[in-house]
Chains A and B, each alone.
Chain A
Amino acid sequence: MTTKNTPPPERHAPPVALVPRPRIVGARPPAALAVPAVLVALLALTPVGYLLFRGGISLPLLLRELSSPTTGMLITNTLLLALGVTLTCAGLGVSLALLVVRTDLPARPLLTVLFALPLGIPSFVGSYTWVATFYELAPRSTFIYGLPGAVIILSLAMYPYIYLPVVAALRGLDPAQEEAARSLGTGAAVAFFRVTLPQLRTAIAGGGLIVALHMFAEFGALELLRFRTLTTAIVQRVTVLSAPEAARTLSLVLALGSLALLALDLKVRGRPSAARTGGGVARAPSLWRLGRSRWLWLGASGFLLALALGVPLSAMGGGLVRLLLRPDAAFDWARLIGATQDTAQYALATALAASIAAIPVSLLAVRYPGRLAMLTERSTWIAHSLPGVIVSLALVYLSVRWLYPIYQTSALLVIGYVILYLPIAVGAQQVGFGHASPQFDNVARSLGARSLGTFFRVTLPLALPGIAVGAILVMLNVGKELTMTLLLHPTGTRTLATALWATTEGEVLDFAAAAPYAVALVAITAIPAFVLIRQTLRRPARR
C-alpha cells in the first residue's frame, strides 16, 4: 500500500446529517417526563386493573365462558368485523385520498372536504338512519343486517380516520422520489406501489388501529344491525343478564385481543421516517390524468357521498320537516340548547384535558423511543378497545370508593372521556412532536432558556398543529359518546347524544322527535370536523 486516495479539497463529502448513525437506544428520559407519562399510562390502565381485581373472575368462570357454544362464533365475528371494516376503510381511505390529491378529478377541493365529513356523524346515528331508510324503502329486506351490512355501514362512518392522515401524508411526500423511480424505468402504477405506498404505511396503520380497536368496542350500531360480537355479548351480560362477572371475564378476552392487535400494529408500522430528506420547498406532484373516466370517478364519488352523507342527512332532514309540520309541534327547544351547550362544554374540556395528559406520553414516545416509551404509549390504547360500559363501571366503582366527591360530576365524566380517547390524542400529537426536532431544544437551551421555558417557547408551539388535530378528534368523539355519558353524567344534565337516545328509548325509530338532536349533533361536530380538515390539509411547515 502506498498512496492513499484522499478526497481533493475541491470536492465535498456529503453532509454528515445524511450519514446514518448508530441508533442510540439507551438515552434515559428525564424523570420530569417519564413520571407524568407513567402516571397517565396508569390512569389509562385503570379499567384493566378493574377487570383483573374487581373480583368475581375465576378460572372456572373463564373456562365456562370460553367453552360456551357462542364464544368461538363471537370471537370469529369480532375478528371478521374488525378485519373487514379496517380493510374496507383502508381501501376507501387510500383510494379517495389518491383521487383528491393525485388525479385531475373535477371539483377536488370540494370533494376533499366532503369526503372527510362522515367523521361528524356518530356511527349509531348512521346505522340508525340506515335501518330507518331500509324500513322505509325496502321493509322486507334484511340486506343490511349481519356481517356485510355492518362492514359496509361502519366503514362508511369510519373511513375518514384513514383518509385524512393519508391525504396529509400524500401531500407531504416528495414527488422527486416517484420521479426518480420513473426515471429508473418503472411505470407510474409500479412506482406508486413500490415507492409511495410503503411511505403511507404509517398513516394507514395509525388510522387502521383506531378503526380496528373501535370495532372491538362498538356496540350501539351492531345492536341495531343485529350483528353479535364479543362486545355485544359483554354488554348484554351486563345490561340484560346482570352478570358483570361474566362480562368482565369476557372483557379480558377482548383486552388480550387488543394487546395482540397493538403488538401487530408495532410490527406493521415500522419506525416513522422523515417524509422529506432534503431541504427545499414542497412541490406539487404531477397529477394522473383520468381522461374520460374522470366522469366515472366523479359519479362513483357522488355515489359514495350519497351513502355516507346522503342517507343519514336525508333521514334527519325528513324527520325535521315532519316535526315542523306536526300540528302539535311542542318541541322543547330549551332542552335542545341546554344539551348542545353541555355537549360543547364536555367536548372542549375533554379535548383540553386529554391533550395535556397525552403530551408526556407522546413526547416520551417521540424523543426517547425505548421500552418505557413503547409500554406507556401502548397502555393508553387498551381502554379504547373495551366496551364503554365496562370502562364506565370501572370508574363508578373506583370513584365511589376513592374519589366520592367527584362522583357524578362533570370532572369524573371528563376523566372517563380522557381514558377512552387518550390514544387518539397521543397518535396525533406524535406527528406534531415529530416536527419539533430536539435540535431546536438544544439551541434554545444554549440561549439560556430553562427546560420548561424551552418546552413552552419552542417545543409546544412547533407541535401545536399536531396537538390541535388530536384535540379536535377527541372533541368529535366526545360529542358522539353515549354509553359512558349515560352512566357518568351529572344528574340533571344531558348531552345531545343522550337526549337523542332518550327519544329512542321506546325503541321506536321516530325521526321527528330525534331529528333536532341528530341535526344539532351533526352540526356541532361538523365545526371541529371542518377545522380538522383544514388543519390536516395545511402543508407541513418544514421537513
Chain B
Amino acid sequence: MLVPTTRRKSVTWLATATAAAALVLGVAKAQGTTAAPTTLTLYSGQHETLAGALAAGFFEATGIRVDVRTGKDADLVNQIIEEGGRSPADLFLSEEPGPMNALASRGLLAPVDPETLAKVQPSLNPGTGDWVAVAARSRVIFYNPTLIDESALPKSILELTDPAWKGKFAYAPSGAFVSTVTYLINAIGEDQTLAWLKGIQANGLNLQKNGAVRDAVEAGQVAFGLSNHYYWYLLAQSRGGEDKLASRVHYMGGGDAGALLLASGAAVLKSSKHQAEAQRFLAWLADAQGGQQVIANESPQYPLGLGVSSPLGLKPIEELSPPAIDQNSLQDLEKAKELIIQAGII
C-alpha cells in the first residue's frame, strides 16, 4: 500500500494553502471596494481622527461619501506629484502651507470657489486663491519653568545665534520650520538667514520631530524648544489637562518670526473628476456651521471660520500678533531647502 506520508510537511502545506486562500480573498475584497457612486477621495496630512470626523460630518450634511487616505503631509504631496494627472485624489488637506504651495506651484490645484474663500479669515488665505486656509497653528516656544523663567526666554528667535543660548534649546526641522526659513529669507535676506540657520545648528539640539522637542522640554532634558502650539495641547489632552504638564507655552508675539501663524489648507485637485462635489466639500469645510465646528472640537488648532473659536484655552488668535505675511509667499521653498541643507540641519 502506498501510505501518504505528509507528517513533517503538514505545517508548511497548511501555511501555503492559507496563503493562497488569503490571496484570493484579498483580491476579491479589493475588487469589492472599487465600485461605489460618487465617492470623494481625500488625501489628508491631518490627524486621522480629525479627517475621519470631517468625512463623517460631510456625509451627514450632504450624503456624499469621503474616503480618507492619511499620511504625512509631504509624503502625500510627493505621492500626488508622482501620480501626476492621474491622481485618485479629489481633495488634499494639509497641516502646513508649504505642501499646499508645492502643489499649487506645479499647477496641480484647481482654483477655490471665491464664496468658500470668503467664509474664512482672509489674512491666512493665499493671494492666488488656489487653496483655502481652514485651520491655523502658531509657532511658539515650549519652556520648562523649572529650568528657565518665562521672562528669561529670548524676545526673538533671531537672538538664538548668540552663544549664550548654546545647549539651552531644542528645535526640529519640520515643515513649519521650513516655512519659518522661507519667511526669514523674505524678511532678512538669504545671507542673514543662512547665518541664523548655522547659529541654530551650532547652539540648539536638533531633535528631528516636534513631538520630541516637546517631550524633551517636558522631561527637563532641555530648557525650551521651538515648535507649534498644537503639539503641546495634544499632549495636554492626552494627559487629561493643561495643569498636568510641567512645561508651558510661550507665545512670542510682537511680529517675531517665532510667532508665525501657519495655515492648514484644503484644496481641490485639478485632476479630480468630481469638481463640483469636491468644491462642495471645501465650502462645507470652511463653513462656520460645518467643518469649522468639527475642527474646533476635534483638534487643538485655530479654526478660521468667521465667528468660530476653539473651546480650548488657546491664546485668542487676535492677540497672537504674528508677522503679517501672505501664506502664498511661503511658496518658494527652493531657497529654503538649499539653505537648510547648507547649514547642515537636514
- A-side residues, CB < 8 A to B, are 64-65, 68-70, 73, 135, 139-140, 142, 223-224, 226, 228, 232-233, 236-244, 246, 344-346, 348-349, 351-353, 389, 393, 396-397, 400-401, 404, 407-411, 414, 461, 464-465, 467-468, 471-472, 486-487, 490-492, 502, 505-510, 531, 534-535, 538
Is the CB–CB distance between A407 and B88 below 8 Å? yes
Least Cβ–Cβ distance between A295 and chain B, in angstroms: 36
As a 0/1 sequence over residues 6 to 50 of chain B, the CB contacts with chain A under 8 angstroms (1 = contact) are 001101100110111011011101100100000001000001100
Nearest B-chain residue to A234, judged by Cβ: B346
In the assembled complex, the Cα of A393 lies from the Cα of B20 at a distance in Å of 28
A487–B346 CB distance below 8 A:
no
List A contacts of B226 (CB < 8 A).
Answer: none
Q: Which residues of the partner chain A approach B346 to less than 8 Å between Cβ atoms?
A: 70, 233, 236-237, 240-241
14 additional A-B residue pairs with CB within 8 Å, beyond A236-B208, A242-B78, A505-B70: A142-B221, A226-B207, A232-B208, A239-B74, A348-B19, A396-B82, A400-B87, A410-B29, A410-B30, A506-B231, A506-B235, A507-B231, A508-B211, A510-B238
Q: Is the CB of B209 within 8 A of A507?
A: yes
Minimal beta-carbon separation of A398 from chain B (angstroms): 9
Contact B214 A506 (CB under 8 A): no
Inter-subunit contact A411/B15 (CB<8 Å): no
Structural contact, A242 and B19, CB atoms closer than 8 A = no
Give the one of B16, B206, B343 with max A CB within 10 A: B16
B234: A residues at CB distance < 8 A = 506-508
Determine the chain A residues whose CB is within 8 A of the CB of B9 once the complex forms. Answer: 461, 464
Question: CA A468 – CA B11 in complex, angstroms?
Answer: 9
Shortest Cβ gap from B31 to chain A (Å):
8
List 12 A-B pairs, Cβ < 8 Å.
A64-B341, A68-B342, A228-B206, A238-B78, A239-B74, A241-B178, A242-B333, A352-B20, A400-B86, A486-B72, A491-B67, A534-B11
B215 within 8 A of A: yes
| Contacting pair A140 B220 (CB below 8 A) | yes
Residues of A within 8 Å of B99, CB to CB, are 242
B219 on the A face (CB < 8 A): yes
List which B83-104 residues lie within 8 A (CB) of chain A: 83-84, 86-88, 98-99, 102
- Classify the interface of chain B: helix, strand, loop or mixed: helix
B238 contacts A240, C-beta separation under 8 Å: no
State whether the Cβ of B175 lies closer than 8 Å to any Cβ in chain A.
Answer: yes
Bound CA span A192–B67, Å? 61
**Nearest-CB residue, chain B, relative to A225:** B208
B129 at the interface (CB under 8 A from A): no
CB-CB < 8 A to A238: which residues of B?
Answer: 74-75, 78
Given known contacts A233-B346, A465-B12, A509-B215, A348 and B175 CB-to-CB distance under 8 angstroms: no
Q: Are B15 and A468 in contact (CB under 8 A)?
A: yes
Count, chain B residues at interface, CB 8 A:
74
Asked whether B88 lies within 8 Å of A491 as measured between CB atoms, the reply is: yes
CA–CA, A223 and B346, complex, Å: 12
Query: Please, what's the 1-or-0 string for B230-261, where 1 marks a CB less than 8 Å from any CB in chain A?
Result: 11001100100000000000000000000000
With both beta carbons as reference points, the residue of chain B lying nearest to A140 in the complex is identified as B220
Residue of A nearest to B177 (CB): A240
**Minimum distance in angstroms from A509 CB to a CB of chain B:** 7
Bound state CA distance, A237 and B221, in angstroms? 27
Are A491 and B98 in touch, CB under 8 angstroms? Answer: no
**Do the beta carbons of B212 and A240 come within 8 Å of each other?**
no
Residue B340 lies at the interface, judged by CB distance under 8 Å to chain A: yes
Does B309 count as interface, using CB distance less than 8 angstroms? no
Q: A404-B86, A468-B11, A531-B15 are in contact. Are A348 and B23 (CB under 8 A)?
A: yes
- Minimum CB–CB distance from B211 to chain A (whole Å) comes to 2
Which chain A residues border B30 with CB–CB below 8 Å? 409-411, 490
Minimum Cβ distance to chain A for residue B99 (Å): 7
* Interface residue? B123 (CB, 8 A): no
Complex CA gap A499/B212 in Å reads: 21
Whether B337 and A246, one on each chain, are in contact in the complex, defined by CB atoms closer than 8 angstroms, is yes
Which chain B residues lie closer than 8 Å to A535 at the CB level?
Answer: 11-12
B186: chain A residues at CB < 8 Å are none
**CB-contact partner of A471 in B19, B22, B78, under 8 A:** B19
Contacts of A73 in B (CB 8 A): 344
Cβ-neighbour of B82 out of A64, A397, A491 (below 8 A): A397
Chain B CB count within 10 A is highest, among A73, A508, A531, for: A508
- Say if the beta carbon of B69 comes within 8 Å of chain A: yes
Interchain CB contact under 8 A, B75 and A486: yes
B178 pairs with A389, CB closer than 8 A? no
A250–chain B nearest beta-carbon distance, Å? 10
How far, in Å, is B194 (CB) from chain A's closest CB? 12
Q: Who on chain B is nearest to A67 by CB? A: B342
Q: Are A410 and B79 in contact (CB-based, < 8 A)?
A: no
Alpha-carbon separation in the docked complex, A393 to B25 (Å): 27
Q: Is B134 an interface residue (CB 8 A)?
A: no
Which residue of chain A has its CB nearest to the CB of B12?
Answer: A468
Query: Counting chain B CB atoms within 10 Å of each CB, which of A135, A353, A408, A507 scores highest?
Result: A507
Which among B12, B26, B98, B221 is the interface contact of A345 at CB below 8 angstroms? B26
Assembled-state Cα–Cα distance A223/B175 (Å): 15
* B78 pairs with A135, CB closer than 8 A: no
Taking a contact as CB atoms under 8 Å apart, the answer to whether A492 and B67 are in contact is: yes
